[in-house]
Each structure stands twice: as C-alpha cells, then as structure tokens.
Chain A
C-alpha cells in the first residue's frame, strides 16, 4: 500500500454510559456522538476537519493552540472545539469569517517563530505546513528580525531522534504524550513566556529520564522531534502493517519503507493506532531497534563444515539441505529413529513452528521436538492447563482498564513489557492499586507518579510459600468467595483443609519468604476485597524448581477470590518472546500436538495421521534437557535448532556445550552466527521479522499478522527450508504459501478453527479460541465456565529448592531483563541500544557490597557451585540484602555459566531465578578480554 495516514480525531473517544448521546449540527451536518464528545471529534466524525495543533486523539484535550476555535449558536465568543463538549441540539460553525480571521492571525504568529524553509523540513507531513495553507497565511507580517528561537541548537544526543527547538511551537503534545501515554514524565516546559521551551529536565535527552519510547516523536505536529532515520533517508513511500518481533506484548507497527524488493529500506517503524495490543504506543525496542535486520553480521548463505574445528564453507541451499537429510538419516539408521530431534523458536511465526514440529513428527518419525518456551513459560502451560483447562492467560490487555488491584509477581513490565507497563502505570495513576512481590524494588514499586500499595520482597525460591500464605490469610479471615468456589470449582474442601494448615500461615512462612506477616496479610486483604483483582506474572514465577506449582498457586488465589471469568481480573502470564504463546500452541512440546492435545490420545493422533499419512508416536519425545543428557550419553546425535541460542540461553553452559560437542550433526538456523553455531556442522541463514509472512500470537492469545516488508534476503523462507529438509529426508512436504499452513492448522486444531489469513487481513487480529462457539475470538476466557468444566484447586505444598545458600555461597542470584536489551541480545546488541546498556552489571545491596569491599564500577567475580564469571558491580538499594541480580544480554557475561541444572519438577523449566553464589572483587584481568570482545561488536553497530 502507499503511505497509510491514520485519521486523527483530535480528542480521545469518551466512555459515555450506553445510550447517553448528543446530536449536534456542525456546518449544517447533523451528527450524533456519545455524550461528552468534543466538538472537534464530532466534527471529524461528520467529515469536517477543524484546524488544530495542540490536539491529537491519543491525548486529553489541552486547549492551548487556539487554532480550533469555532462559533456556537447562542454562545458567546469563540470557544476551542477541542475542550468544548457537545451538548444536545448545539449548532456549531467552524468556518465563519470571525474564526477564520482569528485562525489566520494565530497561525501567522506561530509562523513568525518557525523556520520558513518547508523544503528543508524532514517531515513531509508536518502539520504546520498544511495548516499555513488551510488557514490562508500568505505572508508573515511580523518579519523575522525580532526575538525568535530560530537559532536554538538541536539536541541530537538521542541515538534515534533529534529535538530541534527552532521548529518547536511548545504545544506540549510531547510533554503530554510522555506523561499520559508513556507515564515517564521525562519532558517538561521549562521557563515561562517567550522563554518557554520543551526540555527533558535540566539536561539533554540522552542524560535525561527519557526511555526513548518514541511517543513524543509520534505526537509532535512539527519536525521539532523527528526520527534521525527520517532526517537522513527522507520520506517513506509505502506502509506495511506488521507485528513487532520483540516481547510478548506483540505491538502492531506500520513499517514505513522506501523501495521495493530486496532493496527495500525501512525508514521508520511507527506504532499503529488500531493495533489491539498496543493501541498506538511503542517502546524503544520495537520503535527503533530494528537495525539488526540489516546488520553486517547477518549471515545470508548456507554454510557447512565436517568438524566444528574446521572453517565454514559456503554452499548452495541444495547441498546444505542434502547434507542435513543424509546426515540425519544416517544417524537414525545407526542409532535409531529417536536419535535426532528439533527445537523450534518462539521468535518464529506460528506457521514456521508448525512445520518444524510436523517435520519432526512426520519426517523424523519421533516426538523429539521442543521449544525455547521450555526454558521460560512451560510451567505456565502445565499449571494453567491443570487448573483451568487451557494453557494461556485469561484476559486481553485492555482488561486492565477494569482492574482495581494488580498483583504483580516475578515480572518487571516497565523494562521487559514496556508497552503493557505503560498501560499498568496509567491505570495506577487512575487510582488502581498494585501489590508487587519481587526481590528487587522494581520501577512499579516506586517511580514518578506511581507507588505500590505493598512491596513484598519475596526471597528467590520461596514463591510457593508466599502464595500459600496469601491464600491462607484470605481463608483465615473469611475473605474467600464461597459462592464462586461452590459453583465453579472442584476439590474445594481438600484445598481449604490444606491451606488452613498452620505451616501456610504468613507468620509461619515469614522466616522463609522474608515477607513480614502483617504486610502480607494487608496485601492479601487488599487483593481479596479491593474490587477486581488481576494477577500478572513473568519468569520470576516459572523459572523455579516449583514453577508449575507456583502457577497453580496463582490460579488457586484467583479462584479462591472469584477473580476469574470477567473483565478486569484473571491470571495473566507476561510472555517474554513475541511468539511464546504461539510456539506452544503449535505443538512444539514433545508431549503435545497442536492445541495442547497429548500425543497419547488416539483420536488426536488420528487427525494428523490421516492428513499427514504417517504414524505418530504415541509416547512423548525428549525435552531439551533430556536431549542434552542423551547426547552426552551417546544416544542422541542430531539436532536441528531454529532461532534459539541454546548455548547462551540455556542453564549450565558447560553442560550444554558438552552435549553439543557430543553430537554428530548440529544444524543451526539463525540470523547470526550465534554461540550455538560454534558447535554446528550446518548453518542455515534465517529471515528477520521484516521478511516473514505469517502470524505471531501474543500474551493475550492474539493472532497478529506479520507481513513481509521485503522478500527473504537469504533466498528462501524458513518454512520452505524446513519443508525441503523433510522432503529430502523422504517425506514430501509442500505448501503453496504460509496461508496454506494456517489453513492446515485451522483444519486440525479446534481452537483455531475460524482462523485464516484472509480473515485476519480483513477483520484484524483475533484472540483464540476462534471457532463456532466464538466466531470473533475470545478476549476473556472462562466466562461462566472453565474450559475444563470446573476450576481445579490444587494443594500446592511448598518444597524448598535444593539450591540453598551456604557459607561458601551466601548470596542468591536472580536474573532479569533491562529495557533497552532483549534476551541474549542478538538483536539489540546490534543496534545503538547498546549505548544505554553496554554490559551486564551485577546489582548488589550496599550492605553486601560493604562487607566485601565492593564499590560501584568494580569488576567482581561471581561464583556458583557450577561455574564462575565476572561482571561490573552496581551497588544499589533496589536490592534486598542477600540477593544479587544481573541481566543476561551479553555473551561475555556468561550469566548461565553459573546457573545450575535444577529445574521445575513438572516441565524441566530451568531454575534460572535462584542460584547460590558468592561475589568477590575480581583479581583477574578479565576486563581486558571484555574490552577486546565488545570492541569488535561495538565497531560494527
């Protein structure tokens, strides 16, 4: 399509009670709008554009620019249409001689202090230029000799956008976007009168509180705030609507590009207002950090080598695929059908993942398929399936608008899911309350204009004790929802008997969890009686030896208080990767076919066996950790890995590397030669999200279309490569296009029965289940009845992890993500985002630092029972004593060198979040090595 220009209604839609309407006449056109709608918005709905500068429909009306003046019959003066609500029967004129005169004069004043050279302006859609024409300003009578701001210096400190104060009209749209939409409050109007200027505080953008979400740039009506890429590349020529490939929020973007075919260049990514997940907002990653897709490090050709000590040889696709097929078959001939397997990626589309699991099940002939969700949200799948009957979150993101109390545990949305984090903050500013259970004092505990009602500093590894204490306190004080338990749940008495046990009381668990009993009881009271209560959680829940138990514990808490099955409540996993939900849905687990149906069920196997014309193994295959163990044991020798860097992201790096070394044929498909590729024999180049055609499913079960901005830069789409491997192995697999793959998914999986590319393209995103019962999808699940019938309450006995502190390892290490980086950093490290986070740092409490003689900036050695690594220390009172924290974005850090083999009892999800460590000031000169390694990468970004 050409450039998509979204309509701007000037002021946000109002939430009027049903039936409350006003009918007004604007320039002779009658229009009926919800009561309270602004005259400006009503006019736009009637097809009349009222000139405006300070108004845009993502922000509350402000009434400062004085361009949108209108006359109202019987009223006095010329009110601003953005701040004037429609009253029934109102007659409005937007083009009288009086208002035209006023507007022309106002516009002339604006232009008297605005650069006159529109041709030199970056932004082809600068609203000033168009308004000068509509208001009829032919010349500026005031001249340019007087005081002005035309020589003010541009602030180019941000790597992604510039602020040119000369073009700024101080309309405050950016300030309001930063406050209302993003919730960071990094911008302000400095000074007064003629000296009024937009500033990010008393500093430049880079040093300020700005989080580079881009909301201000998007809101700016002039070219004062403009993307650097727009300034350097010029205006884009067409728009492709697609979905961000970073976190599980799944924001919709308008990719604005120049050129066609392989020469396509992305000028900018702009969040799409109609995106169901983000509603026009974005974060620094999705908005700006897409440059990795065109990074020089990308591998564009297949490569092979006989031994991992050899150099890579570039080969044709045909040769690479032939080699894989022959190699895999040879391994199977010698070591059995089960000696090979595949790992699918949560970074890939549903269609790509589906064909991987099909290749494994149909061509490999086993169930040895697993996904990187193994190491993140597999306990969510297990726990929510066990309790509710479906392996997914219960709400859509918009549900939070109805939430009164949030319980946030083991997630840091303002860094890891920033667009949803902004939404949470907005709801908190509206008066909702939040309980944060986290070992760290994260931003949602306290950051400008947001403060948690309770911060419960739960000790890593004691989540289940904590959640049991919450349930105990609620039952103890009679705050549970007896009617809900009676009507909608089962095993109620068993659970109540269990939870009443004295061992679950806040007083009994206090020593274990570190949460004062009185504080926990107060939080429990708030959750149970504060109105709609919603649980949001992340990997701080799942990545534990009792990860699945904790997910069930959260489900227990929601059911106990009747907080499930309507808007504003629920149990909501915040998914780490763009398509974790989808990759799990698509049957990536060794025990489940698509739609979470166990491979042991003959009626499910029958569906696929008759379609695929093969026999599917009725027993689950190997999980990722089992694959590694079997590799070391000599019975698993061939692995296809799609878009996951297991050597960096999986726990206990030494063990993973030993397993990879033990294999005969490791095939890696990725954008970059990642850590895992060091152990690979065949490297297949992958495609970035800008080249993919398919769907991603976000944390709210929303299927979003991913549309190719450019054709595959490597000559083949990833699904084609998988099909060709299967075909070369003797199992013909072909599809006309990704839409045909989705058709097969829909035909075989009841939850996706109503999904097709045609519908997604025509009607927009949909939340599964989409079927006859819910033809337009399901924003809220378990309404009236749980998917499994009755909700199952489960006694969640707390079993402490075996990873305990000792005198040798007295600190607990926990890990997380930071705003500007993403997971193993393969993408974000290849963008200017590294400016903000050039290395992983170890956060440590001042008391722990003091006794060890550690100061901020020191290089420290961190050792666990399995390994050691070194990092730079940051002494921070965000930590609690006894707990240290780091991120895992840089390979040089090797955070997983220290993490252990402990894993969730049910799903083998690794216990990343608890590792007993000791930290000492480093004596080694590892710093030099670090400088050397990162200098290479830094030079090329």
Chain B
C-alpha cells in the first residue's frame, strides 16, 4: 500500500472523491439527485429516474447520490439492492419477465419459465427474469415483455412477440 502514490483516506476521511468513468453521466445523475433532493423521501424517485434514463444504477452513482442526499453509501446500497428493478448492470435490448406466483404456476408458468430461459440462454440481448404476481392471475401465465404486460403466454406467443427483435 505504501509508496503506490495513492493516498488512502482514513476511516472517517469520507468517501474518496468519485472519479466516474463517464463524466457526462455523473453530471446528469448529480443533476437528477439535486433536483429531487427536497422531496420527502427522495431516494426512490431518484433511483427510478436514474434507471429510466440510463437503464441501471452504476457503482459510481451510489456514492454520488449518497453524497447529495447526505446518506451513507451503505444506506443507498441497501435500498438499491432491495428492489430487483433497480438494475445494477446495463439493461439488455429486451426483457422477458414471467410470473412465477401460484396462479400462474398452476397453469404451467414453471415449465414456461424453464423453456423460455433455455430458449434465450445463448442470447445476450434478451434477459429472462421472474416476478411474483403481476395481478393478472385470471390470464396466466402472465408476463411482461419489454415492460408491457401480456396474458396467456406460451413459448409460441413469446416467440411471436419477439419477432423482429434486433440485437
């Protein structure tokens, strides 16, 4: 550690200054955070905006949001990690999110999920995820494809909906 020319801050020295790879993104995340900081409970709306804008919450975003809101990095990490939809990696081109809760399971969601995961396993442009109840129980198996709710899904329908996907 010594002599590497790097100054290590002590435990109370605060976060080391974040030097994000993407300065433009950093500036925008800071602006998003600044503009919402006076909200009551600002963290969730800020994270939503960041995900809407960039598709995910990056490692560099967390210290910056923490800094502006005067929270600890751990505080922000705890919230981000609690919600699956606050993605931590860039989003793929397309997402298929299938319901695996009881009602859908009873109409074959388990097998559909396995088949769909298998179908796209080689395809880095499509991410298959699971969700527990979309409130669409009467029309199971339900799922969301690129954020849009669909009922009565089958492998064929998913294939049809994905027709023309470029990736």
Contacts and interface: CB of A to CB of B under 8 A. Distances in A.
The answer to whether A and B assemble together is yes
Contacts of A820: 10-11
B71 interface: yes
Nearest to A887: B10
Given A209-B72, A448-B66, A856 B7 contact: yes
B77 A202 contact: yes
Nearest to A447: B14
Nearest to A209: B72
Given A448-B70, A838-B2, A931-B3, A189 B11 contact: no
Nearest to B2: A838
Given A191-B82, A211-B11, A819-B10, A927 B70 contact: no
Interface in A239-288: 284
A190 interface: yes
A870 to B, nearest CB: 14
Given A414-B12, A836-B11, A199 B74 contact: yes
Interface stretch (A10-18, A32-40, A180-188, A355-363): A180-188
Contacts of B82: 191-192
B75 interface: yes
B3 A284 contact: no
Contacts of B75: 185, 188, 448
Given A190-B77, A190-B78, A931-B2, A836 B10 contact: yes
Contacts of A821: 10
Given A191-B82, A857-B6, A927-B3, A185 B11 contact: no
Interface string B50-88: 000000000100100010001111110110011000000
Interface string A204-223: 00001111100000000000
Interface size band for A = 35 or more
A684 B126 CA distance: 75
Given A188-B74, A209-B73, A415-B12, A838 B1 contact: yes
A450 B77 CA distance: 19
B42 interface: no
A837 B12 contact: no
A415 B5 CA distance: 24
B73 to A, nearest CB: 5
A186 B72 contact: yes
Contacts of A414: 12
A931 to B, nearest CB: 6
A199 B79 CA distance: 12
A623 to B, nearest CB: 34
A724 interface: no
A595 interface: no
Contacts of B70: 446-451
A874 B73 contact: no
B20 interface: no
A465 B41 CA distance: 41
Interface in A838-880: 838-839, 841, 856-857, 872-874, 878
Contacts of A188: 72, 74-75, 77-78
Which of A209, A451, A856, A874 has the most chain B CB atoms closer than 10 A to its own CB? A209
A747 B136 CA distance: 85
B61 to A, nearest CB: 11
Nearest to A842: B7
Nearest to A284: B11
A856 B78 CA distance: 31
Nearest to A418: B12
Contacts of B62: 201-202
B7 A872 contact: yes
Nearest to B8: A836
B74 A185 contact: yes
Contacts of A874: 7, 9
Which of A210, A447, A836 has the most chain B CB atoms closer than 10 A to its own CB? A836
A401 interface: no
Given A200-B74, A201-B77, A449-B71, A838 B8 contact: yes
A819 B5 CA distance: 22
Given A185-B75, A199-B77, A451-B70, A934 B10 contact: no
Interface in A734-786: none
A836 B8 CA distance: 7
A841 B71 CA distance: 26
Nearest to A201: B74
Nearest to A818: B10
Contacts of A211: 11-12
B7 A190 contact: no
A201 B73 contact: yes
A184 B7 contact: no
B15 interface: yes
B43 to A, nearest CB: 13
A835 interface: yes
A212 B11 contact: yes
Nearest to A212: B11
B78 A819 contact: no
Given A202-B62, A448-B66, A872-B7, A818 B74 contact: no
Nearest to B66: A448
A657 interface: no
Given A839-B2, A856-B7, A857-B5, A187 B14 contact: no
A927 B4 CA distance: 11
5 contacts: A199-B77, A202-B73, A211-B11, A819-B11, A874-B7
Given A200-B74, A449-B70, A836-B11, 7 more contacts: A188-B75, A188-B78, A192-B81, A202-B77, A211-B12, A448-B72, A821-B10
Interface of A: 184-192, 199-202, 208-212, 284, 414-415, 418, 443, 446-451, 818-821, 835-839, 841, 856-857, 872-874, 878, 927, 931, 934-935, 938
